[in-house]
Amino acid sequence: MNKLLLLLFAFMLLFGSVKATKRVNMTINSGWYFHKGDIAVSDNNFDSKEWKSLNLPHTWNQYDAFDEEPGYWRGTCWYAYQLRLPNDWEGKNIIIHFEGANQVAEVFVNEESVGKHIGGYTAFNFDITRYLISGGKNIIKVKLDNSHNKDIPPLNADFTFYGGIYRNVRLIVVDPVHFNLTDYASEGVFVSTPDVNEKNAKLKVDGNIVNNTGQNKNVLVENTLFDKNGNKILTKTINLKLGPNAITSFSIEGMNIAVPDLWSPESPALYKNVIRIIDQSKNTWLDVVEVPVGFKWFSFNGEGFFLNGKKYKLKGANRHQDFSGKGNALTDDYHINDYMHIKSLGFNFVRLAHYPQSPEVYRICNELGLLVWTEIPIVNEVTPTQDFTDNSLNMMREQIRQTKNHPSVILYGYMNEILIRMLSNSKMPEEKRAQIAQDTRDLAHKLEKLTKEEVPDRNTVMAIHYHEGYNHYDVSTITDVLGYNLYFGWYYEELEDLTRFLNSEHQRFPNRSIIVSEYGADGDIHNHSLNPRPWDFSEEYEAVLHSSYIRQMAALPYLAGYALWNFADFGAENRADAIPFINQKGLVNYDRTEKDVASLYRAAQLQIPILYIASRNYTLRKGIETVAESAICSYPVKVFSNSKYVELFQNNKSLGRKSVSDYTSEFDVPFTDGENVIEARDDQGSYDRLSIDFSIIPQDISKWNENLDIAVNVGADYYYVDAETKTVWLPDQVYKPLAFGRIGGTIFEKRDRQHKVGIANNILGTSTNPLFQTFVEGLDGFKFDVPDGKYSVTLYFVENNPKSPTKDIIYNLSGSDNDAIPAGVREFSISVNSIPVINNLNLARDYGNLRAVQFDIVTKATNGGGVSVNFKSLIGKSTLSGIRVRKL
């Protein structure tokens, strides 16, 4: 067509003489049926109790991934939906689009299979037009299986693989001539910005058009770019001949934008690119797609990351896609809220760990200004089969085609700690290792090649763990950027080893582009410590670790950036820490309420004044008087701030002004019994306030009369507040006259990793893991020098004997010699104030391993003798996890 005709056509469009056949794109999430377990495709017995009505998003592992039973249900389930076609869809093409279903889905329409999809984290769709009956009721069914499958990544990982149709399902209704939606469930149109600088930007559009009519078609493809205010910047139109029942590709180039408004996290300027298919003969728009465009350029090298010509530090958070009580079945609002929350803490970067996330996530990141690392879930190890390779490559291609239109995406990743299984198996022969490394490299090279072909304008990345093996086996040199998941001061070594290690890697590999792709500590808002250490799960240690990392990483100029682990706590079925089945390295809890560290990042990263009194979740405190009879307990209070000085007040009295370092200042506060109003002010005019209800325990408890209640978390060095009962559990201590404490015994030190006391197991029959996970063995007694009176004494026990996982295991107890007896083979008797109360307590035999056992005993203290609990070992060592004495 000549220019004149094009002009004429544009004129007609302007004055509305061109009709638009609108594309319909809508969710069909409501009114599905669900059947747990496999059935025949012909089972339409939706009224039976085997089928349950529900709305999507849905997962069948919402609850069982968090109950005491090991594992969660993995197998085949069915979903069904009854679809009636409106009359005006006659003659249209109908595509059913799944944003994500975990993990192998087969879709049926009216009992005919329309296709199968492998992989739980990418979208897929099918053109179901020819299977549908117009005017009648159509039954769509999805057979979905989340069984473990050695050929589908992820094979195993530290997160729960919830099964279900856990994202939106959509119907897309289009003219038979439309952009190709079934090209790996992409939009069928790909917009790129091949060359951008401050003065000029180039825009390019590629795509495929499906012509499902039996005739040749002459169409126009019109591309229009609008700026953020809706002003039209340019239009370019091309002619295209579409063969009958064929897919035709097109490309529109030569579009230049002078002085583009650049996209960056600080100023996420988005243009809108509208691409239309116009049927010349009928003056009709046949299909239209809108794609956001952000003009920017970026690069990674050994000196760091550069955005729009300037050095730029990526400050990021990883994020998993599940939520308390819901598993991964989240509506879009949950996703949007998370990324708004991340942005509000001053981050400019996110790693979508460990899998592609909902389409809404990428869209919101474009808008908010969050740079994105997206990855496919090849975690821990690969299977050396052709199917695993094919599935991985397919997932990567799906991920890329589905997300490459998003300007926020800069990094495509494909492996996480991929040698960890092999490298942590010290017994594996070298030959086997070399083979695994070779298989892993082969797959990585294939994924690398595919990614470079698909998105030459983005960078590739993988995340490795702290092990020289990645260099040794040449896995660390494959991607453009290397992410290091580093847990110094948590799983290994000390906090300051971070700098030492990164500097040495940078010196050895000066051209390597490095991101710290994970770091963090588990923190529970119910555990609080005056001497925070790794694995006490205290909020205080979590803050200590992050504060150290923030300081160290800010001083490493070559570091491209970081992404902490993790924005939020998340479901991880194999964990049994303070809260079982949850990885608690979040800045926010599983329900997104904040932990202290969230505000530490606010102070460190936001350019606005921040002042925050820390340990904010710890408003109910107890402590022993610092000086006898002073009725005062000195207790540190930290304040996070980005000002120079902070002044702290307690009940209106100034405690002085202190300088801030590492965004923190610390005060010693002389807490008094009752309400303590703590106020902070800084030199930026900010103010914060926290009311703390403090109960002082006298050093000499022998005259304590009112509300005497002493609860001791035996074996623990931190305070623990029971979330439900609000009982404050004090740290363990050794008995001194006039006070309380244990007599004899040693704290059990055998968490399965460094620095730890206690055990990292879920305790059955209780929701208070931290009370039971620490304990003392071999103790002789526990004494409280309380005044005369009536008391309730509660004793808490747990058996920890990995060899006795079930009740009623018969031990050969004959001829036992104490030292040779494994933990758990024990029998002891307890007397309270000389009265035998529990005889021959054999926890393993009578209650089984790892079950919370509790006895409440009523006793009387007379003649100044206090409450005295005595342990007599009969076999092995006595044990005690907690003790509480309450005045009745």
Contact residues toward ligand GCB (CB under 6 A) are 157-158, 416-417, 465, 485, 518, 565, 583, 585
CB 295 to ligand GCB: min, Å? 33
Residue with Cβ nearer ligand GCB (101 or 157) = 157
Residue facing ligand GCB at closest CB distance: 158
Residue with Cβ nearer ligand GCB (182 or 761) = 761
CB 748 to ligand GCB: min, Å? 23
CA distances for 518 relative to 342, 352, 484, 506, 565, angstroms = 16, 12, 7, 18, 5
Contact yes or no for 141/169 (Cβ under 8 A): no
CB 522 to ligand GCB: min, Å? 7
Residue that has been written with the tokens 């965004």 in this structure = 663
CB 149 to ligand GCB: min, Å? 20
CB 158 to ligand GCB: min, Å? 4
Spatial separation of the C-alpha atoms in residues 518 and 560, rounded to whole Å: 13
Residue with Cβ nearer ligand GCB (465 or 528) = 465
Residue with Cβ nearer ligand GCB (145 or 417) = 417
Which residues are paired to 659 by β-bridges? 645
Spatial separation of the C-alpha atoms in residues 566 and 129, rounded to whole Å: 43
Spatial separation of the C-alpha atoms in residues 155 and 391, rounded to whole Å: 12
CA distances for 244 relative to 211, 752, 823, angstroms = 6, 66, 77
Neighbours of 432 (CB within 10 A): 12
Spatial separation of the C-alpha atoms in residues 395 and 589, rounded to whole Å: 30
- Check residue 642 and report its DSSP letter: S
Spatial separation of the C-alpha atoms in residues 659 and 665, rounded to whole Å: 6
Residue with Cβ nearer ligand GCB (169 or 462) = 462
CB 585 to ligand GCB: min, Å? 5
Check residue 713 and give left, alpha or beta (phi > 0: left; psi -120 to 50: alpha): beta
3-state SS record for 46-63: CCCCCEEEECCCCCCCCC
- Residues contacting residue 169 through CB under 8 Å, at least 6 positions apart: 27, 28, 29, 56, 81, 96, 97, 98, 99
CB 546 to ligand GCB: min, Å? 14
3-state SS record for 465-529: ECCCHHHHCCCCCCCCEEEEECCECCCECCCCHHHHHHHHHHHHCCCCEEEEEECCCCCECCEEC
Residue with Cβ nearer ligand GCB (360 or 573) = 573
Length of the chain: 888
CB 350 to ligand GCB: min, Å? 15
CB 568 to ligand GCB: min, Å? 12
CB 226 to ligand GCB: min, Å? 41
Residue with Cβ nearer ligand GCB (376 or 885) = 376
Residue with Cβ nearer ligand GCB (565 or 847) = 565
CB 580 to ligand GCB: min, Å? 15
The phi, psi pair for 754, rounded to 5°, reads: -60, 160
CB 844 to ligand GCB: min, Å? 30
Spatial separation of the C-alpha atoms in residues 516 and 314, rounded to whole Å: 10
Residue 843's SS3 state is helix
CA R_g for the chain: 32
With residue 838 as reference, give the H or E element that holds it: strand 835-841
Spatial separation of the C-alpha atoms in residues 274 and 292, rounded to whole Å: 9
Spatial separation of the C-alpha atoms in residues 50 and 52, rounded to whole Å: 6
Residue with Cβ nearer ligand GCB (89 or 491) = 491
Residue with Cβ nearer ligand GCB (99 or 577) = 577
Query: Which tokens in the block code for residue 300?
Result: 């990674």
Query: Which tokens in the block code for residue 856?
Result: 């409440």
Residue with Cβ nearer ligand GCB (157 or 482) = 157
CB 487 to ligand GCB: min, Å? 7
CB 314 to ligand GCB: min, Å? 18
Residue with Cβ nearer ligand GCB (222 or 417) = 417
CB 486 to ligand GCB: min, Å? 9
Residue with Cβ nearer ligand GCB (158 or 183) = 158
Residue with Cβ nearer ligand GCB (116 or 753) = 753
CB 784 to ligand GCB: min, Å? 39
Residue 356's SS3 state is coil
Residue with Cβ nearer ligand GCB (756 or 872) = 756
Helices (H) and strands (E) in the chain, counts: 12, 53
Report the C-alpha dihedral over residues 595, 596, 601, 602, rounded to 10 degrees: 100
CB 598 to ligand GCB: min, Å? 18
Contact yes or no for 270/263 (Cβ under 8 A): yes
Please give the single-letter amino acid code of residue 465.
H
Residue with Cβ nearer ligand GCB (158 or 717) = 158
Pairing between β-strand 835-841 and β-strand 827-832 as defined by DSSP bridges: antiparallel
Residue with Cβ nearer ligand GCB (348 or 416) = 416
Neighbours of 809 (CB within 10 A): 15
